[in-house]
Structure 1
Amino acid sequence: MAYRYATERVDHTDLASGYVLRSVPGQPGFPARLASELFQRSLAHLDADPVGLWDPCCGGGHLAAVLALLHRDRLAHVHASDVDGDSVRIAARNLDLLTERGMAERERELRAGAVEFAKPAFSDRAEAARRLAEWLRSRGGDLRHSVWEADAFAPVPPERRVDLVLTDVPYGNLAHWAGARPAGDEVHALLRALSGVLPAEAVLTVTARARRVDLPRGVRALERVRVGNRAAVLVRAGDLR
Structure 2
Amino acid sequence: MAYRFATDRADRSDLASGAVLRSAPGHPGYPVRLAEELLGRVLSHLPRRPAGLWDPCCGSGHLATALGLLHRSELAHVLAGDADPDAVGIARRNLALLAPGGLAERERELLAAGAETGRESFAGRAAAARRLAALLEAGGGPLPAEARVDDAFRPAPPPRPVDAVITDVPYGGLARWHGAPDGAEPVPALLAAVAGVLPDHAVLALSARARKVPLPAGVAALERVRVGNRAAVLVRASALR
TM-score tier by shorter-chain length is over 0.9
Change in Cα spacing, 1:136 to 1:212, as seen in structure 2 (3 Å) is same
CA distance in 2, matches of 1:152, 1:164: 15
Per-residue deviation, 1:147? 1.0
Secondary structure in structure 2 of the residue aligned to 1:191: helix
Q: 178-187 or 115-124: which moved more?
A: 178-187
CA distance in 2, matches of 1:137, 1:105: 15
| Structure 2 gaps, min length 5 | none
Per-residue deviation, 1:25? 1.1
Q: 171-180 or 25-34: which moved more?
A: 171-180
CA distance in 2, matches of 1:150, 1:221: 26
Per-residue deviation, 1:180? 4.9
Secondary structure in structure 2 of the residue aligned to 1:69: helix
2:77 corresponds to: 77
2:34 corresponds to: 34
Matched ranges for 1:1-241 at <5 A: 5-171=5-171, 175-241=175-241
| Residue identity in the other structure for 1:207 | S
CA distance in 1, matches of 2:47, 2:178: 34
Secondary structure in structure 2 of the residue aligned to 1:89: helix
Change in Cα spacing, 1:172 to 1:119, as seen in structure 2 (3 Å) is farther
Change in Cα spacing, 1:184 to 1:15, as seen in structure 2 (3 Å) is same
CA distance in 2, matches of 1:172, 1:118: 43
CA distance in 1, matches of 2:136, 2:186: 36
| Residue identity in the other structure for 1:42 | V
CA distance in 1, matches of 2:127, 2:215: 43
Change in Cα spacing, 1:87 to 1:187, as seen in structure 2 (3 Å) is same
What TM-score, normalized by structure 2, do the two folds share?
A: 0.95
Question: How many residue pairs align between the two structures?
Answer: 238
Change in Cα spacing, 1:24 to 1:157, as seen in structure 2 (3 Å) is farther
Secondary structure in structure 2 of the residue aligned to 1:68: helix
Change in Cα spacing, 1:165 to 1:188, as seen in structure 2 (3 Å) is same
Secondary structure in structure 1 of the residue aligned to 2:101: helix
| Structure 1 gaps, min length 5 | none
| Residue identity in the other structure for 1:72 | R
| Residue identity in the other structure for 1:26 | G
CA distance in 2, matches of 1:134, 1:174: 37
Q: 135-144 or 22-31: which moved more?
A: 22-31
Query: CA deviation digits over 1:6-65, x for unaligned, max 9?
Result: 232322110111110001212221111111011000100001200000000001100000
Per-residue deviation, 1:170? 1.4
Secondary structure in structure 2 of the residue aligned to 1:52: strand
What TM-score, normalized by structure 1, do the two folds share?
A: 0.95
CA distance in 2, matches of 1:192, 1:98: 30
| Residue identity in the other structure for 2:121 | A
Change in Cα spacing, 1:34 to 1:180, as seen in structure 2 (3 Å) is closer
CA distance in 2, matches of 1:193, 1:79: 16
CA distance in 1, matches of 2:19, 2:173: 23
Change in Cα spacing, 1:187 to 1:180, as seen in structure 2 (3 Å) is closer
Would the aligned equivalents of 2:180 and 2:186 in 1 still touch at CA under 8 Å?
A: no
| Residue identity in the other structure for 1:194 | V
Q: 18-27 or 78-87: which moved more?
A: 18-27
CA distance in 2, matches of 1:95, 1:65: 5
Root-mean-square deviation (CA, aligned residues, Å) is 1.4
Secondary structure in structure 2 of the residue aligned to 1:100: coil
Query: CA deviation digits over 1:71-95, x for unaligned, max 9?
Result: 1000000100100000101100000
Would the aligned equivalents of 2:158 and 2:197 in 1 still touch at CA under 8 Å?
A: no
Secondary structure in structure 1 of the residue aligned to 2:166: strand
CA distance in 2, matches of 1:155, 1:117: 43
